[in-house]
């Protein structure tokens, strides 16, 4: 991702975590410019951010700039996205009240870029109705909030107030950037399945597959950022939950079927990105199967086909499937499109060096009934998620 990110850091112990975020944003390809408040400098030295971002760090409103420009205006105009992490109650209160008395509050007031705020504070402060009211005020004005998370806080309290993990803030920021200027999905209820399933053989063994869940998580995160009400039915994966999604965690294909059919009752769109196991062990052994038992073959039975079941009683719902193929990509995908009664199928080749399993990128062809296939260049799963949702949005509003 290219562009300029202004990262505001305010004074709290979580300012140290902001250095991780700065480094992650740089690794994504963004040109990161950090503005710190005076209080933030008590927790982290500006040199940390200067080194990580390779850009000067701004603190003082009236410092003589190297080149002549009005700093709060130039950074405000340069920003493609404006992130404040951690954001204190004081900062949030000032912005909500229109107070601009330092470089950070002045710059965020002047920017037209999308603004993401990651609060971090004591749980009592976070629960304070004044802070909550300020967050509501800013949310209504289009400021995007992520976190805080619950857990043990630096002050010793346990509760909501911990800065969201940098990985989650990064994911959210990238979705905000990728989603800006695309159609809103407000009002849509979207169910996404993601990840592999695990079909248990005995208490220690199971059958599974290589799905990482990244594609499904990207779609869920993208839909939520664009205003949809999202339920993410997830098999076991090692990914942070995307911001703003209702999570339903399952393990087996049967559990995924029940959770998805249940959630789909109220849904406008179902995107089946999960790699559901097609077969499960015909029986589960309560005790661990010993090698001395001579166990040599496994009897399997079919799992429910969740997407086919939804397609057989489709109603008004928009159904999107995935087809991962090693051969005959388009003919296999076309067959699945019609046999499962889908509105769209996202087809990609798997296996070989370019296999998308676990990767951050994917190369796909999208097929819709009666339309020519649309092949995309390799792109990040995050951006691809937004491309898929643009087409879903067009189908919904047709
Ligand atoms: N799917 C599902 N439930 C299953 C199997 C698959 O909902 N039990 C969904 C997947 O999430 C995906 C699409 O169906 O969207 C994949 O179609 P499928 O024909 O099952 O593909 P494969 O499992 O690869 O099957 P095949 O052996 O026919 O290639």
Residue 231 and residue 169 share a domain: no
Residue 68 and residue 157 share a domain: yes
Query: Which of 126, 153, 178 is the endpoint of a domain?
Result: 178
Does residue 267 line the site of ligand 1, with CB under 6 A?
no
Query: Which of 139, 156, 178 is the endpoint of a domain?
Result: 178
Residue 154 pLDDT:
85
The CA distances from residue 150 to 121, 153, 159, 160, in Å, are 11, 8, 5, 4
pLDDT one-digit tens code per residue, 43-91? 999 999 999 999 999 998 777 655 556 666 899 999 999 999 999 999 9
Residue 291 and residue 267 share a domain: yes
Question: Quick one: which of 50, 49, 40 has its CA closest to 91?
Answer: 40
Does residue 149 line the site of ligand 1, with CB under 6 A?
no
Does residue 305 line the site of ligand 1, with CB under 6 A?
yes
The CA distances from residue 54 to 5, 7, 57, 90, in Å, are 13, 13, 9, 29
Does residue 49 line the site of ligand 1, with CB under 6 A?
no
Residue 294 and residue 169 share a domain: no
Residues 112-134 have a mean pLDDT of 97
Query: Which of 131, 153, 178 is the endpoint of a domain?
Result: 178
Confidence of residue 155 (pLDDT cuts 50, 70, 90): confident
Residue 1 pLDDT:
82
Residue 391 CA, ligand 1 centroid: distance in Å: 21
Count of structural domains, the chain: 2
pLDDT one-digit tens code per residue, 158-174? 899 999 999 999 999 99
pLDDT one-digit tens code per residue, 246-261? 999 999 999 999 999 9
Residue 340 and residue 260 share a domain: yes
Residue 222 and residue 348 share a domain: yes
pLDDT one-digit tens code per residue, 295-340? 788 999 999 999 999 999 999 999 999 999 999 999 999 999 999 9
CATH value at residue 89? 3.40.50.1950
What value does the mean pLDDT of the chain take?
94
| Residues of the domain holding 12 | 4-178
CATH value at residue 266? 3.40.50.10300
Given a contact cutoff of 8 angstroms between Cβ atoms, the answer to whether 204 and 226 are in contact is no
Tell me: pLDDT of 209 over 90.
yes
Confidence of residue 148 (pLDDT cuts 50, 70, 90): very high
Given a contact cutoff of 8 angstroms between Cβ atoms, the answer to whether 107 and 139 are in contact is no
Residue 241, token pair as written in the block: 């939950």
The catalytic position among 5, 155, 177, 254 is 155
C-alpha span between 113 and 310 (Å, rounded): 40
Q: 49-86 burial string, b = 16+ CB within 10 Å, else e?
A: beebbeeebbbeeeeeeeeeeebbebbbebbbbbbbbb
Residue 351 and residue 236 share a domain: yes
Residue 167 and residue 65 share a domain: yes
Q: What angle do CA 54, 121, 147 make, to 5 degrees?
A: 75
For residue 336, the ligand 1 atom closest to its alpha carbon is 19
Residue 253 and residue 162 share a domain: no
Residue 232 and residue 152 share a domain: no
pLDDT one-digit tens code per residue, 77-86? 999 999 999 9
Residue 258 and residue 362 share a domain: yes
**Mutation choice for ligand 1 from 264, 278, 303, 334, CB with most ligand atoms inside 8 A:** 278
Residue 132 and residue 106 share a domain: yes
Does residue 306 line the site of ligand 1, with CB under 6 A?
yes
Q: What SS3 class is residue 28?
A: coil
**DSSP characters over 88-105:** -HHHHHHHHHT---SHHH
pLDDT one-digit tens code per residue, 1-40? 889 999 999 999 999 999 999 999 999 999 999 999 999 9
| Known active-site residue 155 | yes
């Amino acid at each position: 991702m290219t562009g300029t990110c202004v990262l505001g850091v305010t004074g709290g112990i979580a300012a140290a975590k902001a250095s991780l975020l700065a480094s992650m944003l740089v690794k994504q390809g963004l040109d990161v410019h950090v503005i710190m408040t005076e209080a933030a400098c008590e927790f982290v030295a500006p040199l940390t951010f200067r080194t990580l971002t390779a850009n000067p760090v701004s603190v003082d409103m009236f410092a003589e700039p190297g080149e002549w420009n009005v700093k709060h205006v130039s950074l405000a105009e340069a920003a493609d996205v404006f992130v404040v992490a951690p954001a204190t109650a004081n900062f949030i209160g000032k912005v909500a009240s229109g107070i601009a008395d330092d470089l950070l509050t002045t710059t965020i007031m002047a920017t037209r870029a999308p603004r993401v705020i990651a609060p971090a504070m004591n749980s009592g402060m976070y629960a304070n109705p004044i802070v909550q009211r300020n967050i509501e005020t800013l949310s209504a004005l289009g400021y995007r909030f992520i976190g805080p998370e619950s857990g043990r806080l630096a002050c010793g309290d346990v509760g909501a107030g911990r800065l969201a993990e940098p990985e989650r803030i990064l994911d959210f920021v990238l979705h905000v950037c990728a989603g800006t200027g695309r159609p809103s999905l407000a009002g849509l209820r979207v169910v996404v399945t993601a990840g592999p399933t695990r079909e248990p053989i005995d208490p220690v063994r199971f059958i599974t597959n290589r799905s990482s869940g990244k594609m499904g998580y990207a779609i869920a995160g993208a839909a939520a950022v664009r205003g949809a009400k999202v339920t993410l039915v997830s098999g076991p994966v090692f990914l942070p939950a995307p911001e703003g999604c209702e999570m339903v965690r399952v393990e087996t294909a049967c559990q995924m079927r029940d959770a998805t059919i249940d959630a789909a009752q109220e849904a406008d769109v179902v995107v089946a990105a999960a790699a559901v196991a097609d077969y499960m062990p015909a029986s589960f052994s309560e005790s661990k199967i010993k090698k001395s038992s001579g166990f040599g073959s496994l009897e399997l039975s079919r799992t429910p086909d969740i997407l086919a079941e939804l397609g057989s009683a489709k109603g008004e719902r928009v159904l999107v499937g995935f087809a991962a193929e090693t051969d005959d990509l388009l003919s296999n995908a076309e067959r699945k499109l019609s046999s499962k009664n889908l509105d769209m199928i996202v087809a990609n080749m798997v296996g070989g060096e370019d296999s998308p399993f676990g990767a951050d990128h994917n190369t796909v062809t999208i097929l819709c009934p009666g339309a020519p296939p649309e092949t995309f260049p390799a792109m990040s799963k995050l951006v691809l998620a937004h491309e898929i949702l643009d087409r879903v949005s067009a189908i919904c509003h047709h």
